[in-house]
Amino acid sequence: MHIPDNYLSPSTCAVMFTAMIPVWTIAVRKVKEELTKEKIPMLGICAAFSFLLMMFNIPLPGGSTGHAVGGTLIAILIGPFSACISVTVALLIQALLFGDGGVLAFGANCFNMAFVLPFLGYFVYKFIKDRVHTQKGEYIGIAIGSYAGINVAALFTAIEFGIQPLLFTTSAGQPVYSPYPLSVSIPAMTIPHLLVAGVIEAIFTVAIFAFIKKVSPGTIYEGAKQKTKAVFGLIAALVCLTPLGLLAVGTAWGEWGTDEIKDIVTGGNALGFVPEGMRNGFSFEALIPDYAVTGLPDIAGYILSAAAGTAILIILFKIISSLKKDKAGSNLG
């Protein structure tokens, strides 16, 4: 569910990041209120735990492996606000330090995995647990909470992907970012999560929670001491307003916005885009539209090739000589 860079426009990323700022601010405030400063090391360590949890390969029927996010689990274990901060930190480290992608999309990823997933999951869990006062009820709450949490997070991800071709296209009508509209992105993301990823997440969450409850129940978060109605309101507001914000920013971003939307809605096919240039078939220029290096003099092209060629040769040389030195190889076992 991690969104890589270049699939979302920078303006989308900016909107999602901005939407997270109030969430982070409130989370920090809540954490400071509910817990003393001795919880600062705990946030870091829980972030490490969240990070490592995402690294676990989980066996799937059929032999392959998958991954879980564990956002709801962490929310149940340490509270949703602390979970928000811990998952945020884990995502930051993944993106910026491990270079796995998602630096610009950081805001969006946090919105999906550090906000929607833990909060929704936690509140569904709490809702069920408070109404079914049995142990079974608690576990059902956990299962449904984590399942719902990750699926709604996946839905949000799909929406963020899907509105890209709607809002951001080149003058030739090509989508600049993710080319798959809502009609594609929503089923593509939600179906695997409903059928597979959500189930894994639910099982994993319940199993780990059960273990901890049995072994060390005192470490589990007791529950917010204050009423959380206000937070509910904030969450509802954010959830509704963010898409509006996205749309607003999108259409404001270029004169081409409204025209293209019209095109797509009326003249387009099921996939939503049939750019003008493509109608005449496959031609080389159309394959790489700007290849004429528009705007740069020819000499720039020569310099570029020379620089690229030299750099590549140096890189290959370095790699080969290091392979020769390293005959014993490195054993990761």
Partner 1 sequence: MDNNKLKMTQMPDMPKMQEMPKMPEMPGMPHWLLEDEKYSPQSDRDAFISKSIVGILSILSRIRTQDSRSTPKYSVNAAFKVAFTLLLLIMVSISQSTAFVTVIIVYLLVVLCTMQAIQIVKILKVSFIMSFFTFVILLPAALLGNTYSIVMITAKVFTSITAVNILSHSTRWNAITSALKRFFVPDIFILVLDITIKYIVMLGDFALNMLRALKLRSVGRNTSKYTSLSGIAGTMFIESKEMAEGMYDAMQCRGFDGEYHVNSHFQFTAADGAYILIQIAIIILFVYLGRT
Partner 2 sequence: MIEINNVSYSYSGVTALQNISLHIEKGEAIALLGPNGSGKSTLLKLINGIISPDQGTYTFDSEEVTGKKLSSAQFTKRLHQRIGFVFQNSDTQLFCADVYDEVAFGPRQMGLSEAEVDTRVNDCLSLLGIQSFKSRTPYHLSGGEKRKVAIACVLSLNPDILVLDEPMSGLDPRTQRWLVEFLVHLNKSGKTIITSTHNLELVPEISSRAILFDENHEIVGDMPSGQLLEDVDLLKRVNLVDQYYHCHQGSDHKHFHDHSF
Residue 56 found at the interface with partner 2 (CB under 8 A): no
Q: Which amino acid is located at 81 in the chain?
A: F
**What's the closest the beta carbon of residue 56 comes to partner 1, in angstroms?**
5
Rounded Cα distance between 319 and 322, Å, is 5
Q: Which long-range contacts (CB under 8 A, 24 or more apart) does 259-264 make?
A: 260/169, 260/173, 261/166, 263/173, 264/165, 264/166, 264/181
Q: Which residue lies nearer to partner 1 by CB, 101 or 239?
A: 101
Please give the angle made by the CA atoms of 137, 53 and 243, to the nearest 5 degrees: 75
**What's the closest the beta carbon of residue 214 comes to partner 1, in angstroms?**
9
Q: Choose the stretch contacting partner 2; rule: CB under 8 A; options: 9-17, 123-131, 248-256, 322-330.
A: 322-330
Please give the angle made by the CA atoms of 181, 182 and 186, to the nearest 5 degrees: 125
Q: Which residue lies nearer to partner 1 by CB, 119 or 177?
A: 177
Residue 308 found at the interface with partner 1 (CB under 8 A): yes
Q: Which residue lies nearer to partner 2 by CB, 294 or 330?
A: 330
Please, how many CA atoms are within 13 Å of residue 53, restricted to the half-sphere of its CB? 21
Residue 328 found at the interface with partner 2 (CB under 8 A): yes
Q: Which does 331 bind (CB under 5 to 8 A by kind): partner 1, partner 2, none?
A: partner 2
Query: Which residue in the set 26, 34, 35, 103 belongs to the binding site for partner 1 (CB under 8 A)?
Result: 103
Residue 27 found at the interface with partner 1 (CB under 8 A): no
Residue 34 found at the interface with partner 1 (CB under 8 A): no
Residue 51 found at the interface with partner 1 (CB under 8 A): yes
Which residues in 214-253 contact partner 2 (CB under 8 A)? Answer: 214-216
**What's the closest the beta carbon of residue 208 comes to partner 2, in angstroms?**
11
Which residues in 144-163 contact partner 1 (CB under 8 A)? Answer: none
**What's the closest the beta carbon of residue 19 comes to partner 1, in angstroms?**
18
Residue 329 found at the interface with partner 2 (CB under 8 A): yes
Q: Which does 329 bind (CB under 5 to 8 A by kind): partner 2, partner 1, none?
A: partner 2
Residue 96 found at the interface with partner 1 (CB under 8 A): yes
Rounded Cα distance between 231 and 120, Å, is 12
From 189, 188, 169, select the one nearest 179 (Cα to Cα).
Answer: 169
Report CA-CA distances (Å) from 284 to 58, 148, 207, 292. 45, 47, 55, 11
Query: Which residue in the set 3, 15, 20, 85 belongs to the binding site for partner 1 (CB under 8 A)?
Result: 85
**What's the closest the beta carbon of residue 236 comes to partner 1, in angstroms?**
27
From 333, 197, 183, 160, select the one nearest 264 (Cα to Cα).
Answer: 183
Main-chain phi, psi angles of 36, to 5 degrees: -80, 180
Q: CB count, 10 Å around CB of 211?
A: 10
**What's the closest the beta carbon of residue 60 comes to partner 2, in angstroms?**
17
Put residue 57 in one of left, alpha, beta given phi > 0 → left and psi -120 to 50 → alpha. beta
User: 213, 219 in Cβ contact below 8 A?
Assistant: no
Q: Which residue lies nearer to partner 2 by CB, 36 or 330?
A: 330
Q: Which residue lies nearer to partner 1 by CB, 96 or 241?
A: 96
The set of residues, in sequence order, having a beta carbon less than 8 Å from that of 46 and lying 6+ positions away, is: 74, 77, 78, 82, 83, 86
Which residues in 211-250 contact partner 1 (CB under 8 A)? Answer: 211-212, 215-216, 219
Q: Which does 284 bind (CB under 5 to 8 A by kind): partner 2, partner 1, none?
A: none
Q: CB count, 10 Å around CB of 49?
A: 18
DSSP H or E stretch at residue 192: helix 182-192
* Chain positions contacting partner 2, by CB under 8 A: 211, 214-216, 328-331, 333
